[in-house]
Amino acid sequence: MALGSLGFALLRGRLRGSAPPSGTLRGAAGRGPAGRRECVLPRHEATVISGTEMAKQIQKEVQQGVEAWLALGHERPHLSIVLVGDNPASHTYVRNKIRAASAVGICSELILKPKEVSQEELLDITDQLNMDPKVSGILVQLPLPDHVEERTICNGIAPEKDVDGFHVVNVGRLCLDQRSFIPATAGAVWEIIRRTGIDTFGKNVVVVGRSKHVGLPIAMLLHTDGDHERPGGDATVTIAHRCTPRAQLKTQTQLADIIVVAAGVPKLITPDMVKEGAAVIDVGINCICDPMTAKTKLVGDVDFEAVRKKASFITPVPGGVGPVTVAMLLRNTLLAAQKVIY
């Protein structure tokens, strides 16, 4: 796939590399945005994909979609968020979602419940939201307290309002290549790959992590048929996880044209594991203490500074997959309002 003009605007850092440290040729010659094949290129750092810029672009598209929808006389899309307890990270995520929704013209409401809330009461809430015609999308922020079964709550949301894509029917439809709500993080990885112009057809992809909300749907999107109702990436996909021996993981990632990491392990992916010119998408969000400053900071699962010297494309943390994930949630909410999927 050629890199579209859209991709250009969203890339920063391209070709800003230094002189080749070892004088070797760059393996990814010909992968450049213009598609030209050049025999000798100086080694340079990976293009850092700005998730922040891409998210702005997607949000702009969603905003235009909302305006067009309103212009047709429809009601404004409405997102209802249920937030349980006082987990600070959850509160931050929800705040970001509400702010982003507001920015694109999506109305939102926050339903706060104490951590002692019963499963029954949560199901009553989702029931009411399911029946409320003004509510387009419903999101119950995870994790939930231990006494509540997350699966039961996810399945309590009507599939047609399930903008997180966690309902069993949306999971099944995703796996069957049918139209469905795609979990926002997986949708973000897909969108980053597509908009950056990274080819997936017949490529080797390693997805590190098998979580049901992230690793699994990413693997589904990337390996499935590009001609189906919900097109897939037609890539050869390897699913690795915590039972994968370290040496085996390295063997697999060294073969990969694209590495997607969603393991929650800082510096899991080091440069020796990465093929020259591979694309590296970092879904990890880890809060660590910086030994230099003694302050906490966010890092991904990739040894970013080292790997960027070898990869063709790389996403940073923060500012990579995260912002795009929020944008994809807004897009799902618009799709729910438009009843495009159900």
- Is 210 a residue that touches a copy of itself (CB under 8 A)? yes
The catalytic residue among 59, 161, 162, 164 is: 164
- Is 173 a residue that touches a copy of itself (CB under 8 A)? yes
Q: Going by DSSP bridges, is the β-strand pair 204-208/236-240 parallel, antiparallel, or unpaired?
A: parallel
- Is 176 a residue that touches a copy of itself (CB under 8 A)? yes
Q: CB of 220: closest distance to a copy of itself in angstroms?
A: 8
- Is 279 a residue that touches a copy of itself (CB under 8 A)? no
Binding marks (x or -) toward a copy of itself, 101..140, rule CB under 8 A?
----------------------------------------
- Is 151 a residue that touches a copy of itself (CB under 8 A)? yes
Query: What is the CB neighbour count within 10 angstroms for residue 32?
Result: 18
Range in contact with a copy of itself (rule: CB under 8 A) among 2-10, 243-251, 280-288, 306-314: 243-251
The correct pick among 80, 108, 224, 332 for binding a copy of itself (CB under 8 A) is 224
- Is 255 a residue that touches a copy of itself (CB under 8 A)? yes
Q: CB of 197: closest distance to a copy of itself in angstroms?
A: 18
The correct pick among 48, 240, 262, 281 for binding a copy of itself (CB under 8 A) is 240
Residues near a copy of itself (CB under 8 A), total:
38
Q: CB of 239: closest distance to a copy of itself in angstroms?
A: 5
- Is 161 a residue that touches a copy of itself (CB under 8 A)? no
Write out the catalytic residue numbers: 97, 141, 164
Residues that bind a copy of itself (CB under 8 A): 151, 168-173, 175-178, 201-202, 204, 210, 212, 216, 219, 223-226, 234-241, 243-245, 248-249, 251-252, 255
